[in-house]
A = this chain, B = another copy of it.
Amino acid sequence: MTRARGGERADRREDHDDETTFLAAYDLTAYPRPALTVDVAILTVLEDAIHALLVQRPSQPAKGQWALPGGFVGLDESLPDAVERVLARETGLTGVYTAQLATFGAVDRDPRGRVVTVAHYALVPAGTLVDAVSARPATLLARVDASPGGGPGGFSVRGPEGELALAFDHREILTEALARVRWRLWHAPVAFALLPEEFTLLELLRVYEAVLGRSLDKNSFRRRIRASGLVAPLGRRREGLRARPAELYRCAGPDADP
C-alpha cells in the first residue's frame, strides 16, 4: 500500500499513456455480442380500462403479428434517444412520458438470434393516443383487462377481433409494465401522465381504478389526493355534464422519486 501510494503520480501518468495506446488499439467489435433493441409498452386509460398501443409487424420476423413498438439501438444514440426515435417513427408521438422498465435477455426470445431488449413504458392521455392510432394504419389500441385475482400475468389483450397473441416475449413485457405502473401509481405522480392537463378528481379516480383494477372509495380518494399536494385547483369547472360541475385541477407536485 505505502509503496503504491509513493509512486502514485508517476503511475497515473503511465496509466494514462497506457490507456491511450490501449484504446487506440482496442476493437470492441472484435467479440461476438448480442444485438440491442428498445421496446415500448405505450399505455393509456380509455373507457375506464387500460389500453396498450400495438403495431402490426410489417416485415419478418413475426410478420403480421401484433407487437410493441420497438427498434434497434443505434451506436450514437442513448437509450432515451432510441425510445424517442422509435415512438416518433412507429406512432408519431413526441414528448410523452416514458421510463425504463427492465431489460429482457432470454437467449431465445428472438428467432433472429441473440437480441436483448431494454423495455420501456410510456404513459399517454387517451385522446392523444386515439389520435395517433387513427392517423396510422397497422396500429391499434388493445384493451388490457387485468383481473387482480387472476394471478400474475393473468390478463387479456383484446383487439376489435378478440384476444391477441403478442409477438416475441411482448406479453411478458406488458405484464411487467402493468405491474410497474400499478406499483408506482401511489408512490409517484404517474397518473397525471394519463390525463389531459386539466382534469376533475373523478376523472383522476377513474384512472386509478382502471390501473389498479379495482374500485376505490370516492371520499377517501378526494382527501388523499388533496392532502398529497400533488394537485392544484384551477378555480374553473367542467360544465355541461349531467350533474353539478366539478372543479378542474392540474398536476402541481414537483415530479419525484425513483
Which A residues have a C-beta under 8 Å from some C-beta of B? 1, 5, 11, 15, 18-19, 22-23, 26, 28-29, 31-36, 60-64, 72-79, 100, 102-103, 105-107, 111-116, 118, 161, 176, 179-180, 183, 257-258
Residues of chain B within 8 A of A15, CB atoms compared: 63-64
Given contacts A19-B63, A62-B19, A258-B176, contact A103 B106 (CB under 8 A): no
Given contacts A79-B103, A103-B79, contact A31 B61 (CB under 8 A): no
Instruction: Verify A60–B22 contact, CB threshold 8 A.
Output: yes
Given contacts A23-B61, A60-B22, A258-B176, contact A75 B32 (CB under 8 A): yes
Instruction: Verify B35–A28 contact, CB threshold 8 A.
Output: yes
Task: Tell me what chain A mostly uses at the interface: helix, strand, loop, or mixed.
Answer: loop
Instruction: Verify A64–B11 contact, CB threshold 8 A.
Output: yes
- Please name the residue on chain B nearest to A113 by beta carbon: B28
Cβ-neighbour of A100 out of B76, B102, B180 (below 8 A)? B102
Show 16 residue pairs from A and B whose CB-CB distance is below 8 angstroms, ordered by the A residue.
Answer: A5-B161, A11-B64, A22-B60, A26-B60, A26-B61, A31-B35, A32-B75, A33-B33, A33-B35, A34-B73, A75-B114, A76-B107, A76-B114, A100-B103, A103-B118, A116-B118
Residues of chain B within 8 A of A28, CB atoms compared: 35, 112-115
- Please name the residue on chain B nearest to A182 by beta carbon: B258
Instruction: Verify B32–A33 contact, CB threshold 8 A.
Output: no
Instruction: Verify B111–A23 contact, CB threshold 8 A.
Output: yes
Instruction: Verify B76–A105 contact, CB threshold 8 A.
Output: no
CA distance A34 to B78 in the complex (A): 10
Instruction: Verify A73–B105 contact, CB threshold 8 A.
Output: yes
CA distance A35 to B73 in the complex (A): 11
- Please name the residue on chain B nearest to A63 by beta carbon: B15
Residues of chain B within 8 A of A115, CB atoms compared: 28
Residues of chain B within 8 A of A60, CB atoms compared: 18-19, 22-23, 26
Instruction: Verify B100–A118 contact, CB threshold 8 A.
Output: no
Instruction: Verify B61–A19 contact, CB threshold 8 A.
Output: yes
Residues of chain B within 8 A of A180, CB atoms compared: 258
Given contacts A113-B28, A179-B258, A183-B258, contact A75 B34 (CB under 8 A): yes
Residues of chain B within 8 A of A77, CB atoms compared: 107
7 pairs of A and B residues whose beta carbons are closest in the complex:
A22-B60, A79-B105, A28-B113, A179-B258, A103-B103, A32-B75, A103-B118
